[in-house]
Structure 1
């Protein structure tokens, strides 16, 4: 997905172990040269397609890479190995559904620098990419982990190189079940197996600890590993996870359908969305008599723009006479986006239900009229950080979030539903999503659930993590409360379902802890509509250090202090282990000492 470079912070060392020389009795180690292609043989479906040694300071680029994009110098000596794991999916050479197999890119530190760990990385969106390409490096982040941290690192293309969702549809319009399985679970399992096997063969000793780190799709992948392959990793970071895949991604089309059905195809402007979102922030962000600039807890905010004269146009009884004012219909459209997808396009009054009730439930939403959660109040509805890069958020006036329109085409098995980026022999995307009614969108939602067995069980929503707990695994998740793409309510709901399945929150916190972070977006430092907001954020390696301390030293993380320094002002804030929430107790609202977790 387009967000990959933003959702995955570079992980650092934290609690480094001593370098591990190969033991005297170990099997002969592999060399970082062409001999490795034939020396590393785990099964008939696996082939090594590239081996390349980089010396410290050498640019990390491969022959054929664009000269205009020189690679960053290597931090230390590292070895790059690229694998392909078949069988893939046969078909016409020009079809996006044709694949030779799962590409895996592995980075190995020099033997003297290896800290005994595997630190594998997840991806974003539909993933894809250059993991098997011999002329491009797929993950500079993985290279930096190997060179800087000293851990073996890896990434996968999940079985395709497309980047969009068209790989999952066969040329005849049918479902590409083989690649759905690779994308949903097999590729990340093979990534784990091959990375550890290659490390063992290369160093002559097995890794002491193996870790997974990912956000968005990478977060979903971490949860899938814990659910289906609990022995693959000792510790997992699964941030802002894209679990409940078909549920939440189908619902990501809801803002665009609201524009089509309620506003006669005329989207709200950026200024109108910002007007309403910032009004919600001002109404609900006061702490200790000061405006924070973002919401500490959006779950308790019931701001209603349809009742706010300051945003309503004079023609609708308001006092706003600017071009950015809202009609009552437009204000109600924003309420719908905040509440989330319903089967019939209705929305309750925010004071009665602001869209968060189902989050605290131990039951999956969707059986009633409320199908899924909306974006929390105060969030940038068009995802400003990404919009400025040319990418479209959920309520972008330029068009839909592409992952969502692709999924609709796959659920309805009609490529013309998607945008023009979706290419298939049965037809190229023509944007026919615009014609869908609320009922038809709800039908696509139900179709996605019915197709789980053919979609590789992509939803990743099983609350049974008992095998992962039993093997001693540990997992951490954080989710920004102003996530512009994945509503945090879905993660909260999942955690509550895990607790209900596994004997209560205390039993779950023994191995799996969740943090909800005010103001943060989808891996972005400010997910709000307020450009001046400066919510405290994680340091780049903070979560990884917490996880390794928990796994290797038994130090369970408690509340965590975050920092920011926007506008020259240093701010600190505790974030709490869910279900505790941060409570203001008095003093400077910019200091962590003014809050407790309770």
Structure 2
């Protein structure tokens, strides 16, 4: 049953004291970005599971519906996207994907229906129930329906287009976590390749060595694109032999240089993942990207991955075993997970034919410095969709456009011009289809203006209240132009 909590005025601060620690804690607050009515509903998805859905319904509604996804293990409403959507006049919704918390495994352990919600069901319920709430509140259904999400939220958007093509007219999907189980597995496989958990072995590459290794990637490869800006435009065009970082070459000091076995470990870290039959199942890690997802792997001298999703999900959803650890993670663990595919979470299917046939549009973006989901994965998925539908590149561009953003990290951040309206707060001076991804999608769906390029901005101190110091236009899988301001 829906509960109208209250009416909020723009600029008010909304306390959310029931927020769990991993989603921000009891002191977490949201910001009212418009005058709106806030609605929360808990919807049963089975006899043993439910999803929480929150909607912000603006007084001055633009006639559009917006659903948003989650990140990581889910469990946290994406208030940043909800806030942005409401500011733009959308009836803006978020979901906890069926459980509370961005870390942990207890909510999955022994609860297959909760796993189903996170795996594939929550956003569909968000769309169905959210549209009904909109109709009840405004007296009519939304004219158009949209979705925006990044990482796990990107997976949820593409997965929804696969499974429930009628839910949305268009989706914005950033750094999409499609093939999710291979993405998560890669952290364990790469950690093992660099010597973990045997942190005293001669093959182990220490956490403090990795920033120096990545800095050398950037120092040596960045100038090759013609501009020395601290950004490797397209890391897929380059190879890097870590042997040049060996002790004695002088490129790294004696405390950071690589011993012979460490060279082999670093080389292995930049190789793709293969299954037990030698088939490539996940592309290689991007050169120049932060490596913490696999190299931040000890605490106080004890082997422990800082990236907790692997342990949490395999404990709670794959093996249903609270004692399992990733210390001996192997290809067999990866293959078992993909075979079981808990909740249908992997979402690697490439047949988007029904979504295309109904006129749906996909606007996807991915940073070339993504430290969590290698940007090569999105390109490979795009190619697989084209192959599955047996269509030309022009046909693909008619419904699915992919933009790579040089220097952008996972979803946002980084040294590049990464701001495209995907993060909170948004720059009100850039509310146009070239500089805001959601508005670009709206223009495409409603006015048939497919975006030939998008323009990212880089702000001083990454603060939208400060001046823009660089902008960059990026065409869909094509050429780029750079303008420094």
TM norm structure 1: 0.70
Counterpart residue number, 2:85: 145
Q: Do residues 564 (structure 1) and 445 (structure 2) align?
A: no
Q: Do residues 126 (structure 1) and 73 (structure 2) align?
A: yes
Aligned residue among 160, 173, 179 for 1:238: 173
Within-5 A mapping of 1:358-397: 368=278, 370-382=280-292, 393-397=293-297
**SS at 1:200's partner residue?**
helix
**Distance (Å, rounded) in 2 between the aligned partners of 1:69 and 1:153:** 23
Cα distance, 1:470 vs structure 2: 1.2
Q: Give structure 1 stretches of 5+ with no counterpart.
A: 1-46, 91-98, 132-137, 344-365, 383-392, 418-431, 527-533, 593-598
Q: Given the superposition, is the C-alpha separation of residues 190 and 64 from structure 1 closer, same or farther in structure 2, using an over 3 Å criterion? A: closer
Q: Do residues 157 (structure 1) and 96 (structure 2) align?
A: yes
Q: Given the superposition, is the C-alpha separation of residues 114 and 262 from structure 1 closer, same or farther in structure 2, using an over 3 Å criterion? A: closer
Is the 8 Å Cα contact of residues 154 and 177 (structure 2) preserved in structure 1?
yes
**Distance (Å, rounded) in 1 between the aligned partners of 2:247 and 2:458:** 37
Q: Do residues 489 (structure 1) and 408 (structure 2) align?
A: no
Aligned residue among 254, 266, 269 for 1:337: 269
Counterpart residue number, 2:428: none
Aligned residue among 393, 403, 415 for 2:322: 415
Counterpart residue number, 1:257: 192
Is the 8 Å Cα contact of residues 340 and 373 (structure 1) preserved in structure 2?
yes
Query: Which one has the bigger strand percentage?
Result: 2
Aligned residue among 290, 294, 310 for 1:404: 310
**Distance (Å, rounded) in 2 between the aligned partners of 1:63 and 1:295:** 42
Cα distance, 1:139 vs structure 2: 2.4
Q: For this pair of structures, how many residues does the alignment match?
A: 453
Within-5 A mapping of 1:184-333: 184-260=119-195, 264=199, 268-287=205-224, 290-306=227-243, 308=244, 311-314=245-248, 320-333=252-265
Is the 8 Å Cα contact of residues 17 and 26 (structure 2) preserved in structure 1?
no
Q: Which has the larger radius of gyration?
A: 1
Q: Do residues 535 (structure 1) and 416 (structure 2) align?
A: yes
Counterpart residue number, 2:301: none
Counterpart residue number, 1:52: 6
Counterpart residue number, 2:357: 470
**SS at 2:269's partner residue?**
helix
Q: Alpha carbon RMSD of aligned pairs, Å?
A: 2.8
**SS at 2:2's partner residue?**
strand
Q: Given the superposition, is the C-alpha separation of residues 327 and 475 from structure 1 closer, same or farther in structure 2, using an over 3 Å criterion? A: same
Within-5 A mapping of 1:509-588: 509-526=397-414, 534-540=415-421, 542-565=436-459, 570-578=469-477, 580-582=478-480
- Superposed CA offset, 1:475-500 (max 9, x none): 10001111011111111111000001
**SS at 1:158's partner residue?**
coil
Is the 8 Å Cα contact of residues 67 and 94 (structure 2) preserved in structure 1?
yes
**SS at 1:513's partner residue?**
strand
**SS at 1:252's partner residue?**
helix
Is the 8 Å Cα contact of residues 80 and 108 (structure 1) preserved in structure 2?
yes
**Distance (Å, rounded) in 2 between the aligned partners of 1:257 and 1:67:** 33
**Distance (Å, rounded) in 2 between the aligned partners of 1:402 and 1:470:** 39
- Superposed CA offset, 1:349-379 (max 9, x none): xxxxxxxxxxxxxxxxx85254422321111
Is the 8 Å Cα contact of residues 250 and 407 (structure 1) preserved in structure 2?
no
**SS at 2:266's partner residue?**
helix
**Distance (Å, rounded) in 2 between the aligned partners of 1:184 and 1:447:** 16
**Distance (Å, rounded) in 2 between the aligned partners of 1:581 and 1:265:** 46
TM norm structure 2: 0.85
Cα distance, 1:473 vs structure 2: 0.9
Q: Do residues 177 (structure 1) and 177 (structure 2) align?
A: no
Q: Given the superposition, is the C-alpha separation of residues 367 and 48 from structure 1 closer, same or farther in structure 2, using an over 3 Å criterion? A: farther
Q: Give structure 2 stretches of 5+ with no counterpart.
A: 299-303, 422-430, 462-466
Cα distance, 1:451 vs structure 2: 0.7
